[in-house]
Amino acid sequence: MKTLVNNIATLAGIDGGGVLKKAGAEMAQLDVINNTWLLVEDGVVSDFDTVDNRPAPADVDQVVDAAGGTVLPSWCDSHTHIVYAGSREREFVDKINGLSYAEIARRGGGILNSADRLHEMSEDELYQQAMQRVHEVIAKGTGAIEIKSGYGLNTQDELKMLRVIARIQESTRLRVMSTFLGAHAVGREYAGRQAEYVDLVVNEMIPAVGAEGLADFVDVFCDEGFFTPEETARILEAGAKYGMRGKIHGQELAPSGGVEVAVKHNALSVDHLESMTDEDIEMMRGTDTMPTALPGTSFFLNMPFAPARKMIAAGLPMAIASDYNPGSTPSGDMKFVVSLACIKMRLQPAEAINAATINGAAAMGISADYGSIAVGKVANFFITHPIPSIDFIPYAYTTPIIDRTFLAGEQIG
Ligand code: NIG
Ligand code: FE
């Protein structure tokens, strides 16, 4: 099946293949071609060029008229908790009234509140609720997504979440990567017995998840009031035995050793970083661990933003992701995340778009196949309504820009 996308004003986020991430000054480079076309064959990008070499419409099965819109690679959202039960707007009001995220968690709200609801909900209902959010993010341009467990907090409920994640992968054209986050909080039955809970994660949960092959990655909420770097190291080592690479929640609430343990264990990414220090930045240089900022969380919780300019100045790559979850940012709108990265972290639009595409794909270990428009890569992209420039995308921060979305070459909406 050959599809020709014609009449593209700007084709953005292209590369010649082989670019797996962009670091430091490279992040400001977003390659584009103007007045062009894109050829997709069997779900994969097979060519793009100037008007002069355009394939004849008679030689393809389908012609899509981009109508002067811009084409971008789909967003690659490398950190979400999109499978959850219900919502937590009461805590939202508590926060307005002055309680902090950590105080709400200490009162037994927060993650444990979501775990209680998830326990009551059937796998089917959980899947249906998650799919509503999945459809929403696809319509907003996301083409690849990482989804975490972590609202189960006992073996059966963690497996239930991971099965729902697997079902999302099977039933959509989204590329889904799955992360086991049993160490998101200490489950209620283990209150006051954190060491025993970590034993359960290591000795029971990880082997069960590994036996069913349900997770690509393992994550730990390594932060003040949650899990220590030593516990995190144990869990990362246990996950590694089942081929799960680390993706760590670190340096959110306080500088608490998350970056160090992530780097030492060659984690694929370390995420949040609102409390990242200069030493952390130094520690990350020359490593394969992708620093990932979650600007939606800083916005929603009224917290500091990750020191993005310092990271880029130090030559680091950086990804941005939505963190879509019921407590700290109930939104998977990656265009808004890109805007926040520009407005609040002072990223250039090109840097923010690279952070949300190729570097997001790298933070999921899939940038050989996703995250840019390159020959041989999966044809995940969206066509915008005609827009004046790429910079307009983060500038018009609530204007819907998407006309049509394509996943694996197929028009989804
Ligand atoms: O990434 N920081 C830890 N976990 C989530 C929040 C989870 C929740 O509050 O439900 C986060 O922000
Ligand atoms: Fe998170």
The CB of 163 under 6 Å from ligand 1? The reply is no
Average pLDDT, the chain: 96
Structure confidence at residue 73 as a pLDDT band (50, 70, 90): very high
CATH class of 2-73+369-411: mainly beta
Q: Which ligand is nearest to the CA of 297?
A: 1
- Ligand 1 centroid – CA 249 distance (Å): 9
Instruction: Kindly list the domain boundaries of the chain, sorted by start residue.
Output: 2-73+369-411, 75-362
The CB of 325 under 6 Å from ligand 1? The reply is yes
Structure confidence at residue 125 as a pLDDT band (50, 70, 90): very high
pLDDT beyond 80 at 352: yes
Beta-bridged to residue 41, according to DSSP, are: 2, 44
Q: Which ligand is nearest to the CA of 185?
A: 1
The CB of 69 under 6 Å from ligand 1? The reply is no
pLDDT of res. 247? 98
- Please state the rounded mean pLDDT for residues 334-352: 98
pLDDT of res. 413? 84
Residues 350, 29 contacting (CB under 8 angstroms): yes
Residues 291, 270 contacting (CB under 8 angstroms): yes
The CB of 157 under 6 Å from ligand 1? The reply is no
Which amino acid appears at position 102 of this protein? Answer: A
Instruction: Tell which atom from ligand 1 comes closest to the C-alpha of 252.
Output: 2
Structure confidence at residue 106 as a pLDDT band (50, 70, 90): confident
Q: Which ligand is nearest to the CA of 87?
A: 1
- Please state the rounded mean pLDDT for residues 121-130: 98
Q: Whose CA is nearest to atom 11 of ligand 1?
A: 328
pLDDT beyond 70 at 51: no
Q: How far apart are CA 47 and CA 33, in angstroms?
A: 13
Residues 21, 362 contacting (CB under 8 angstroms): yes
Instruction: Tell which atom from ligand 1 comes closest to the C-alpha of 79.
Output: 1
The CB of 110 under 6 Å from ligand 1? The reply is yes
Q: Whose CA is nearest to atom 9 of ligand 1?
A: 327
Q: Which ligand is nearest to the CA of 84?
A: 1
- Ligand 1 centroid – CA 151 distance (Å): 10
Distances in Å between the alpha carbon of 245 and those of 41, 102, 210, 358?
A: 32, 27, 12, 19
Q: Whose CA is nearest to atom 12 of ligand 1?
A: 328
- Ligand 1 centroid – CA 292 distance (Å): 14
pLDDT of res. 228? 97
Beta-bridged to residue 348, according to DSSP, are: none
Q: Is 257 left (phi over 0), alpha (psi -120 to 50) or beta?
A: left
Q: What is the pLDDT of residues 381-408, one digit of tens each?
A: 999 999 999 999 999 999 999 999 999 9
pLDDT beyond 70 at 50: no
Q: How far apart are CA 104 and CA 111, in angstroms?
A: 9
pTM for the structure as a whole: 0.97
Q: What is the pLDDT of residues 173-209, one digit of tens each?
A: 999 999 999 999 999 999 999 999 999 999 999 999 9
Residues with CB under 5 A from ligand 2 (ion): 323
pLDDT of res. 182? 98
- Please state the rounded mean pLDDT for residues 319-345: 98
Q: How far apart are CA 144 and CA 165, in angstroms?
A: 13
Q: How far apart are CA 137 and CA 141, in angstroms?
A: 6
Mutate to test the pocket of ligand 1, among 78, 79, 80, 81 (most ligand atoms within 8 A of CB): 81
- Please state the rounded mean pLDDT for residues 222-246: 97
The CB of 114 under 6 Å from ligand 1? The reply is yes
- The continuous run of DSSP H or E covering 5 comes out as strand 2-12
User: Nearest Cα to 81, choosing from 24, 145, 136?
Assistant: 145
Q: How far apart are CA 91 and CA 88, in angstroms?
A: 6
Indicate the SS3 state at residue 396.
Answer: coil
pLDDT of res. 108? 77
Mutate to test the pocket of ligand 1, among 111, 116, 181, 223 (most ligand atoms within 8 A of CB): 111
- Could you tell me the fold of the domain covering 75-362? TIM Barrel (3.20.20)
